[in-house]
Amino acid sequence: MEVLSIVLPVFVMLALGMTCSRMKLISREGMDGIKLLATNIMLPVVLVDALGTAEYNATTLLILIVMFVQLLIALGAGYLFRPLVGGSGKYLPFLTASFEGGMMGYPLYMAICGTAMLSNIATLDMANCIFTFTVYLALITATGKGKNSGRELLNTVLHAPAMYGVAIGMILGVTGILPKVAASSVGGIYSALVSMITTPVSALILLCVGYDLQLDRRVLTAAGKSAAIRLVLQAVLLAGVWLILSRFVTEREMFIAIVLYAFMPPCFMSPLYAVDERDKAYTSTTISLYTLISIAAFTVLTVVFS
């Protein structure tokens, strides 16, 4: 029953999102509004709270370095494997590297370990945020437009609320400001405010994910190959990451975070940078396929660790 209590709400929210899309119960504009509310307001608050109360030490720095190197290796492998996918292969590197922490990793991890442990997966996602808003954006923009737009990249970074959530949370955590506030006489008020804002975030994000799940038959073969390549590659990289970090990480919740994060889909914004309609369909379908893999991995982890 404990496993069912964790897994069932996730599947229900995904199914509800799919139903809203298929039956047009919520328009695209309405769902975009829900997504903006969840990712631009609620999620940054979750990140500030999680990272602001996290512990920072040498292990944290090691995790950042290891994860960043892992992302670079995954990106390079994507370039090597492009011929296996065919015409759409130019976007494969951006589907083998990066992780969708905000829209998938955080809500699924919270379902297993709770909001109080979110700093574990948020620590892993720090490296992903840095990678995504620098190396990833520069290369995917160049692939789509044939050149880098420094102004566009800077504008994207400056308009990413999650990035502000990570940065502010780290500053408040490293300086010890937020822990002091939480332990003070106003700590109860702070906790109540954060709880009110963040409680619905997982349900709303999963609703949006279900709404966007779609499989385009025109590119299903290429997308299936890409998802398989990412799955094998990330499994190999997970073994390497754990080989390095296992001597420094002993907490059960951090182990769950590392494994779950490795099976998260690639960044959901990838299709936005694809210029051709077929490339957009290819990236979207690959992400949808891998989202199903992520849900399966989440279910297995829930069964194993609950």
CA distance 22 to 24: 6
Tell me, what's the pLDDT at 36? 86
User: How many of the other CB atoms lie within 10 Å of CB of 219?
Assistant: 23
Domain ranges of the chain: 2-305
Q: Is the dihedral of CA 147, 88, 82, 265 positive or negative?
A: positive
Tell me which residue has tokens 């998260």: 264
CA distance 226 to 78: 9
**Closest among 91, 126, 74 to 105, alpha carbons compared:** 126
Tell me, what's the pLDDT at 152? 63
| Residue-wise pLDDT tens digits, 37-64 | 888 888 888 888 888 888 888 898 999 9
CA distance 271 to 59: 34
Tell me, what's the pLDDT at 12? 92
Tell me, what's the pLDDT at 156? 64
- DSSP alpha helix (H) spans, the chain: 2-22, 28-37, 43-52, 58-80, 93-96, 106-113, 119-131, 137-145, 150-158, 161-174, 177-183, 187-198, 201-212, 220-245, 252-262, 277-305
Tell me, what's the pLDDT at 88? 74
Phi-psi region of 264 (alpha: psi -120 to 50; beta: other; left: phi over 0): beta
pTM, two decimal places: 0.85
- Secondary structure of 262-303 in HEC code, one letter for each residue: HCCCCCCCHHHHCCCHHHHHHHHHHHHHHHHHHHHHHHHHHH
| Residue-wise pLDDT tens digits, 97-139 | 999 988 899 999 999 998 878 888 988 888 888 888 788 888 8
For the chain, which ranges sit under pLDDT 70?
A: 1-2, 144-158
Tell me, what's the pLDDT at 293? 94
Q: Is residue 70 exposed (0-12), middle (13-18) or buried (19+ Cβ within 10 Å)?
A: buried
Give 2-305's CATH code, choosing from 3.40.50.1110, 2.40.110.20, 1.10.10.10, 1.20.1530.20.
1.20.1530.20
Tell me, what's the pLDDT at 269? 82
